[in-house]
Amino acid sequence: MRLMAWAALATLLVLSTIAYPVVANANAASDDNNNTIELKNSNYSFVDAQGMTNVVGIVNNHGVAPISVTMALNVSDSSGRASTLHENLYGKVIYHGEGAPFKFRLGEGVKAVGKPYVADVKQVDQPFYDTLVLNYTNMAVGDERVLTGTMKNTGNTELRNVVVYASVHDENMTDLDSVRSNVVPLLRPGEQAVFTASPDPAVKAKVYYYSCAGFDINAPISTLPTGDGGFIAYDFASIAKVGSMRYDNATDSIAFDITHYNPKGGSASIKIPQLTQNQTVAVMMDGKPYDGATVKADGKTVYIDFFVPPGTHAVQIQGVRNMPEFPFAVLGLATLVAAVIAASRLKAAFKIS
């Protein structure tokens, strides 16, 4: 197996702290700038078999940009000493229109002071790769009242350490618990796996249905297989949904469909390794050369920036691979030899006549 090494382009999540209004009720809507998040604290808590008090809730992203959220809860211990606990959501990145649960577990003698609140929100310029399909029913299944279903990798690259998360509810819609499924360590393109998430035994008898089901992947996708044992490294930043991402050998392209989350459209950028000094990279959109893109190179990296108009578009980034010059040299030499042979035959023909 061959890997196109590119130390300079280790994939990074681009994080920026942003001021998000937080609306703490179940009927919250986006503000004028489409950047509201909704916090839904549960009024229910329970003590598990380890004697720990569980406090749960859900955060929904009503904004355009993907976000990473850190929750906080003020507590006091048996001696009255105050402190603050922090927990991340069960989903590392929450995309437009999606939500994720959270859970605090308080040790014996520790009491919550007030409700959980949002401590930090960061914008994450990471596309949502539409490569995993979940198939499940929201209703709790069996005597154990579990959430179970299948996940299928519909993309062109391997997915690693996939976890499904969800919020647990009773028949009155009360938020009882937050759960994670078993980890699927590897899901190859086209493969399917079964997942199961179980509620805490302390609430099992009350469980009726699940909501906010989503999935987490260990790391952003950063390489594409080329079909011959090789890979192409890349770094993709955009507030968009990306589907059918693949390497197209016929056009030497990274090809994908893209839909920007901003209804007015927005920017996207891709970095790939510069493999030759005379490497030519071009951007096609919907089958035509796209003049809304800029391509720059610094000898190590090729920077492609382009505007994504409203709607869904098919994009090709052409010229991404180190295409060897030998075949072109052979073609040129063959053409030259053919020309010489033709000239010789023509000269001989004149002499005979």
The Cα 128–Cα 259 span in angstroms is 10
241-250: pLDDT as tens digits: 999 999 998 8
Mean pLDDT for the stretch of residues 191-212: 96
Q: Is the dihedral of CA 142, 144, 147, 150 positive or negative?
A: negative
Residue 151 clears pLDDT 90, i.e. is over it: yes
Q: Can you give the pLDDT at residue 316?
A: 95
Question: Are the C-beta atoms of 257 and 314 separated by less than 8 Å?
Answer: yes
pTM summary value: 0.76
What burial class does residue 174 get, using C-beta atoms within 10 Å of its C-beta: 0-12 exposed, 13-18 middle, 19+ buried? middle
The residue written with tokens 């578009």 in the block is: 313
Mean pLDDT for the stretch of residues 10-16: 37
Query: pLDDT category, 17, cuts 50, 70, 90?
Result: very low
Query: pLDDT category, 322, cuts 50, 70, 90?
Result: low
Mean pLDDT of the chain: 84
Mean pLDDT for the stretch of residues 222-226: 85
Question: Are the C-beta atoms of 160 and 39 separated by less than 8 Å?
Answer: no
Which residue, among 122, 128, 145, 121, has the nearest Cα to 216 in the 3D structure? 128
Mean pLDDT for the stretch of residues 320-325: 62
* Greater model confidence, 108 or 341: 108
Q: Is the dihedral of CA 81, 47, 42, 133 positive or negative?
A: positive
Question: Are the C-beta atoms of 251 and 282 separated by less than 8 Å?
Answer: no
* Greater model confidence, 119 or 21: 119
The residue written with tokens 């909704």 in the block is: 38
Residue 221 clears pLDDT 60, i.e. is over it: yes
Q: Can you give the pLDDT at residue 340?
A: 46
Query: pLDDT category, 227, cuts 50, 70, 90?
Result: confident
Mean pLDDT for the stretch of residues 113-125: 94
Q: Collapsing DSSP states into helix, strand and coil, what is residue 321?
A: coil
Q: Which amino acid is at 317?
A: I
Task: Write out the two tokens for 133.
Answer: 């399909």
Mean pLDDT for the stretch of residues 75-92: 95
Question: Are the C-beta atoms of 151 and 134 separated by less than 8 Å?
Answer: yes
Q: DSSP letters of 206-219?
A: G--EEEEEEEE-SS
Q: Can you give the pLDDT at residue 337?
A: 46
Q: Can you give the pLDDT at residue 158?
A: 86
Q: Can you give the pLDDT at residue 35?
A: 60
Query: pLDDT category, 348, cuts 50, 70, 90?
Result: very low
Mean pLDDT for the stretch of residues 319-324: 70
Mean pLDDT for the stretch of residues 303-324: 89
Q: Can you give the pLDDT at residue 277?
A: 86
Q: DSSP letters of 155-198?
A: SSS-EEEEEEEEEEE-TT--EEEEEEB--EEEE-TT-EEEEEE-
Neighbouring C-beta atoms of residue 243, cutoff 10 Å: 17
23-62: pLDDT as tens digits: 555 434 343 445 689 999 999 999 999 999 999 999 999 9
